[in-house]
Amino acid sequence: MSTALLIVQVLNGLQLGVLLFLIAAGLTLVFGVMNFINLAHGVLYMLGAYLAVTFYAVTGSFLLATVLALLATLAFAVLLELAVFRQLYERDHLDHVIATFGIIIFLNHGVKLVWGPAPLSLPIPDMLSGSVRLADGLLYPWWRLVIIAAGLASAGALHALIAHTRLGMLIRAGASHAAMVSALGVNIRRLFTLVFGLGAMLAGFAGIMIAPILSVEPGMGDTVLILAFVVIVVGGIGSIQGAFVSALVIGLVDTLGRSFSVDILRLVMGPSPARTIGPAIASMLIYLLMACVLYFRPTGLFPATGR
Amino acid sequence: MKTVYRMLAIAGAMSLGLSAAQPQEKDKLKVGVIATLSGPPAVLGQQLRNGFTLAVKNLGGTLGGREADVIVADDELKPDVAITKVKALVERDKVELVIGPIFSNILQAIMKPVTDAGVILISPNAGTSNFAGKECNPNFFVTSYQNDQVFAVSGKHAQDSGIKKVFLMAPNYQAGRDALAGFKSAFKGEIADEVYVPLNQLDYAAELSRIAAAKPDAIYVFLPGGMGINFVKQFRQAGLADTVTFLSAFTVDESTLPAQQDAALGFFGGANWAPDLDNPQNKAFVAAYEREFGAVPATYAFQSYDAALLIDSAVRQLHGDLGNKDALRAALMKADFKSLRGNFRFNVNHYPIQDFYLVKVVKRPDGKYQTQIVKKVFENDADPHAKECPMK
């Protein structure tokens, strides 16, 4: 277990963390502002990836494909909000879960009808396809560094938007006293649509950034959705700051656990049982973490104020 | 109450009428195909279905001289769904043979419902060790392989080609552990590390860093389907492909290559066949498949094509009369057909004795990707479990 390897694994953890943040940010915003559970959030992540593949095939430019895919995801999300989700805000959480679960099934099949069941892939832009040498024999792909940078930049922009703009003020106000904001003459419906579109765009962006690394396939949003829920529960529902910290913590715990659990267990037991128990413990770690947070701080690490 | 009795009487009469009309020889031969046709692994099921229907088409819509009625069912990769579907095939549609499935867990589920009903089950892919050994079944035939054989190909190659240090990785479930055990049964060099990842893990960043730090001569992985697509791309992106030899089982084949593309070039796998296997029947098959479906066939397609040829040969020997199951089993056992892989015969456990090859991913002049045979690793290889099978 050398220092170089540790540094690389920390980078890997950060990369997973910022990706989870991009997805969880929208989820926690929608939950925080509208008190709406959107299971279909992962589908938007999948949609971003698929749209990027399609636009890349048409335009041949990664940057252009990213912009077009983001706009298309935004448009689709707004349509979805107006057509379906708007009818659900007044209902209880069970209705949210059932309806958005239906959307997942519907869109997973829809994607299969449009793009086929075979996995698709999006190439890394040529400029960024190499690796950077961190130490002897330890290479790190440029693209993963790009993901970290893009994720951190998005987090910064989101923070600026929420903390320092009029729109951000309305979002914060809407999160704690929606009725009051509405009474003051703000069009709360339009605010909701806007927040929903913003969250969808962030999820779509995560999908686009990960598409060159993972295969783009139907149902790719389902696994990541569970992790995103863990992130917002640990971070505190409705809190962007909480989602950011907890996404990074979860990314690091998961990655470092997977990398070093066997080596650590080998210190206290033989190699064979360590190989059996290590991976099992590693895949449980983030859920153990969530259980601990729920026990000691049931509202999460950074509970949103005013809720 | 009276109406109920009347309905029962009508139903009884109808079923009598049906069964009386049934045993007409020379009418349509009903065959059921069960494969995974939904979800991400649907690509594999489509290959299976396409291979079988292509064979029936090439035989002029017949099997062994009888007009063939092929009924296709989707198991959805859910054992309970698979049981319902095969029961419908066997009891409602009265099929005489069932072909399928792709996945081992589905095979475990449908084995009893099919074979206990006296129907022959032919697996063109799943070939688990239990049905090759102690639980071998007279009504069950396999036209693919027993998994362990494919696992051993990479191990034998690593041993023979002087590779000294290998890093092993597989998903953390039974088949994954079998895959690594199979490799180690043929490889006696140094194992840099053995890593088990959760089933369906998508991002391998942490494992790739460990591989880079361990500096092995080669890696051997068993990462079927979507796992392999992701891992291969990331392995290439991490810059490891230039220094580390990539050995694998069920990780790079024609079903995953359309998504892996250039990332998989030069990577090795083990197989009982490749599209470039040099014999006239195989050349005709690959050309016909590509013309018909616009994709390069993988082993799933060729093995189910062979299953159709096997049925054709057996039905022909019996002149279309499948009434005597003992005669049918004996006719199938002869395997009197020209397999696309050339060398083929059944062992006592109804699993094939065949050759295995080291295959390598190449890009063809037309831009499509396929595996190509590098060398023969095992000749007339029988699986290690056959000796535990009580059938003689």
- Give the CATH number of the domain where residue B345 resides: 3.40.50.2300
Give the C-alpha separation, B365 to B363, whole Å: 7
Residue B26's CB is within 10 A of a number of other CB atoms, namely: 11
Asked, for residue B174, whether it belongs to a domain, the answer is yes
Report the alpha-carbon distance of residue A236 to residue B2 in Å, rounded: 66
Query: How sure is the predictor about B14, in pLDDT bands with cuts at 50, 70 and 90?
Result: very low
Pick the residue from chain B with its C-alpha nearest to A123.
B233
Task: Please report which confidence band the pLDDT of residue A75 belongs to, taking 50, 70 and 90 as the band edges.
Answer: very high
Distance CA B308, CA B112 (A): 22
Token pair, residue B177, equals: 């552990």
Q: Of B184, B210, B231, which to mutate for an interface test with A (greatest number of A Cβ within 10 Å)? A: B210
Strand partners, B126: none
Which band of pLDDT confidence, cut at 50, 70 and 90, is reported for residue B18?
very low
Instruction: Provide the b/e sequence for A235-273 (b: ≥16 CB within 10 Å).
Output: bbbbbbbbbbbbbbbbbbbbbbbbbbbbeebeeeeeeee
Residue B5 lies in a domain: no
Q: A220-235 vs A188-210: helix axis angle to the nearest 10?
A: 120
Asked if A219 lies within 8 A of B39 by C-beta distance, the reply is: yes
The two tokens of residue B101 are: 């499935």
Say whether both B302 and B323 belong to one domain: yes
User: Are A137 and B213 within 8 A, CB to CB?
Assistant: yes
Q: Is pLDDT above 50 for A162?
A: yes
Mean pLDDT for B42-59 is 93
Checking if the pLDDT of B24 tops 50, the result is no
The tens digit of pLDDT for each residue in B198-254 reads 887 888 988 998 998 899 999 999 998 778 989 999 999 888 998 999 999 999 999
CB-CB: which of A129, A138, A275 is closest to B212?
A138
Q: In what order do the strands lie in the sheet with B245-248?
A: B190-197, B165-171, B218-221, B245-248
B161 touches chain A (CB under 8 A): no
Helix A220-235 with A271-296: angle, nearest 10 deg = 50
Q: Which of B40, B194, B210 sits opposite A119 (nearest CB)?
A: B40
- Note whether A2 contacts B213, CB cutoff 8 Å: yes
B291 and B348 fall within a common domain: yes
Q: How confident is the model at residue B20 (pLDDT cuts 50, 70, 90)?
A: very low
Whether B189 has its CB under 8 Å from any CB of chain A: the answer is: no
Taking CB atoms and an 8 Å limit, are A218 and B226 in contact across chains? no
Nearest CB partner across the interface for B226, out of A9, A119, A143: A119
In a domain, B242, yes or no: yes
Does the pLDDT value for residue A223 go beyond 90?
Answer: no
Q: Do A214 and B203 touch (CB under 8 A)?
A: yes
Kindly state whether B347 is in contact with chain A, defined as any CB-CB distance less than 8 angstroms.
no
CA distance B298 to chain A (A): 14
Same domain for B194 and B46: no
B140 and B171 together in one domain: no
Q: Are residues B305 and B328 in the same domain?
A: yes
Omega before B280 cis (within 30°)? no
**pLDDT class for B179, splitting at 50, 70, 90?**
very high
- Calculate the average pLDDT of chain B: 90
**Residue A167: how many CA atoms within 13 Å on its side-chain side?**
11
Give chain A positions within 8 Å (CB) of B207. 258-259
Chosen domain end from B220, B250, B271: B271
Q: Does B173 touch chain A (CB under 8 A)?
A: no
Domains and CATH numbers, chain A: 8-296 (1.10.3470)
Q: Where a domain ends, among B220, B251, B271?
A: B271
Helix axes B299-317, B42-58, angle to 10 degrees: 40
Q: How far apart are CA B356 and CA B379, in angstroms?
A: 7
Radius of gyration (C-alpha) of chain A in whole angstroms: 20
Q: Does the CB of B259 have a partner CB in chain A at under 8 Å? A: yes
Chain B residues with CB under 8 Å of A23 CB are none
Whether residue B273 has pLDDT greater than 90: yes
B141 and B32 fall within a common domain: yes
CB pairs under 8 A, 24+ apart, for A261-266? A261/A285, A262/B195, A263/A1
Confidence at B61, pLDDT banded by 50, 70, 90: very high
- The alpha carbon of residue B48 and the mean position of all alpha carbons in its chain are separated, in whole angstroms, by 8
> A273-305 pLDDT, tens per residue?
888 888 888 889 999 999 999 999 998 888 876
Residue B310 lies in a domain: yes
Q: Say whether residue B205 is in contact with chain A using an 8 A CB cutoff.
A: yes
Is A121 at the interface with chain B, CB within 8 A? yes
Q: What backbone torsions phi and psi does residue B272 show, to the nearest 5 degrees?
A: -95, 5
In this structure, the answer to whether residues B264 and B180 fall within a common structural domain is: yes
pLDDT (0 to 100) of residue A263: 83
Tell me how far CA of residue A113 lies from CA of A46, A218, B18, B203, in angstroms: 14, 10, 40, 26
What is the CB neighbour count within 10 angstroms for residue B387?
Answer: 12
Question: Domain residues for B194?
Answer: 148-271
Q: Is residue B369 part of a domain?
A: no
pLDDT score for A303: 83
CA distance B390 to chain A (A): 33
Inform me whether the C-beta atom of residue A137 falls under 8 Å from chain B C-beta atoms: yes
Kindly report the pTM of this predicted structure.
Answer: 0.84
CB A205 within 8 A of CB A63: no
A33 within 8 A of A166, measured Cβ to Cβ: no
Beta bridge partners of B171: B197
How distant is the Cα of B245 from the closest Cα of chain A, in angstroms?
15
Residue B375 lies in a domain: no
| pLDDT attached to residue B16 | 45
CA distances from B295 to A54, B258, B301 (A): 20, 9, 11
Q: Given an 8 Å threshold on Cβ–Cβ distance, is B237 in contact with A141? A: yes
Task: Give Cα separations from A151 to B177, B179, B256 (angstroms).
Answer: 37, 38, 30
* A130 contacts on B by Cβ (under 8 Å): 239
A165 pLDDT band, cuts 50/70/90, is very high
Does the beta carbon of B199 lie under 8 angstroms from any beta carbon of chain A? no
Residue B267 has pLDDT above 80, yes or no: yes
B195 and B181 share one domain = yes
Work out the average pLDDT over B178-188.
92
pLDDT value, residue A124: 87
Considering its fold, how many domains does chain B have in total?
Answer: 2
- Smallest CA-to-CA distance from B184 within B199, B172, B167, B196 is with B167
Mean pLDDT of chain A, nearest integer? 89
Question: What is the pLDDT, as a whole number, of residue A126?
Answer: 84
Residue of A nearest to B38 (CA): A117
Q: What is the pLDDT of residue B22?
A: 44
Would you say residue B168 lies in a domain?
yes
Residues B161 and B136 in one domain: no
* Closest CB from B209, B240, B260 relative to A8: B209
Nearest Cβ partner for A5 among B40, B213, B229: B213
Please report whether residue B239 resides in a domain: yes
Q: Which amino acid is at B351?
A: Y
As a whole number, mean pLDDT of residues A45-56 equals 96
pLDDT score recorded for residue B5: 55
Same domain, B61 and B83: yes
Mean pLDDT of B294-320: 95
pLDDT at B311 exceeding the cut of 50? yes
| Amino acid B25: pLDDT | 47
- Residues B3-18 have a mean pLDDT of 49
Tell whether B43 lies on the interface with A, counting CB pairs under 8 A.
yes
CB of B240 less than 8 A from some CB of A? yes
Taking only the tens place, the pLDDT of each residue in B348-373 is: 999 999 999 999 999 999 999 999 99
Residue ranges with strand state E in B278-334? none
Among B41-45, B264-268, B284-288, the least confident range = B41-45
DSSP 8-state assignment for residue A269: S
Mutate to test the interface with B, among A50, A108, A215 (most CBs of B within 10 A): A215
Q: What is the pLDDT of residues A110-153, one digit of tens each?
A: 998 999 877 888 888 888 888 888 777 677 889 999 999 999 99
Residue B160 and residue B141 in one domain: no
Confidence of residue B270 (pLDDT cuts 50, 70, 90): very high
Residue A78 CB neighbour total at 10 angstroms: 15
Out of B40, B210, B258, whose CB is closest to A217?
Answer: B40
Residues B247 and B322 in one domain: no
